[in-house]
Amino acid sequence: MNEAQLLLLTAASIALLHTIIGPDHYLPFTAMGKARNWTLQKTLRITLYCGIGHVLSSVVIGGVGIYLGAQLSSLTALEGFRGNLAGWALFAFGLMYFAWGLKKAGRAHSHSHLHSHGDVVHSHKHDHRQEHMHVHDAPSKQSLTPWALFIVFVLGPCEALIPLFMYPAAQQSPALVISVAVVFGVVTLLAMLLAVAVTSIGIQKLKLPSLGRYSHAAAGASVAACGAAISLIGL
């Protein structure tokens, strides 16, 4: 195995390890997908978009740094700052979502009604604060949750990628720099998608008791816990 192959294998291994041991790479998507009743396909699609933003932000910073001749210490310090920022942003997002979930749960004292429309019979729930609305007449609302997750993940760095960039850059091998970025990015994205799929399907298979109206609060708490683990523990 030559040096280039060894470097690419190292990049793939570090990308896999970096993703799996960092629950912030997958648990927020699993938790939000469960709370918001996203399909697995939608959850994976949002994970993919956020993962692309997560990887590309570090690739761009690393590429610009190499072009400008920045030192490794400067780039790693910048990525460390971004890591702290992303951790606190994830914590704040989770905390706000937790508070919103509690508020929503407090208003969700509901009961069911059966309605018949010709050959179609369906049930729906409503609370006593508003006039109830048939499920087929309910307006669609665009959730800001995917956008919030995307912004947080763009802020979040791939700290392990920058040192991997520096060796081929020092050897003045742009092709190898690009290869390292591609391998690291692809493995990171595949690992994120696999982890989200496994945890999402696992939750469905376990058939855990439903949290009911507290599902959003529980999702927010789990996301906040991930953010706290990054910021306080350095996970």
Model confidence at 131: pLDDT above 50? no
Q: What is the mean pLDDT of residues 119-137?
A: 47
pLDDT band at 145 (very low <50, low <70, confident <90, very high): confident
Report yes or no: 83 and 160 within 8 Å, Cβ to Cβ. Answer: no
Q: What is the mean pLDDT of residues 202-220?
A: 75
Query: Among 20-24, 55-59, 107-111, 166-170, where is mean pLDDT lowest?
Result: 107-111
- Over 57-103, what HEC string results? HHHHHHHHHHHHCCCHHHHHHHHHHHHHHHHHHHHHHHHHHHHHHHH
Residue ranges of the domains in the chain?
A: 3-105+143-233
* Residue 127, phi then psi, degrees to nearest 5: -100, 180
pLDDT of residue 46: 95
| Contacts of 190 by beta carbon, 8 Å cutoff, 6+ apart | none
* Residue 36, phi then psi, degrees to nearest 5: -95, 5
Q: Which residue(s) pair with 112 in the sheet?
A: 125
Model confidence at 196: pLDDT above 80? yes
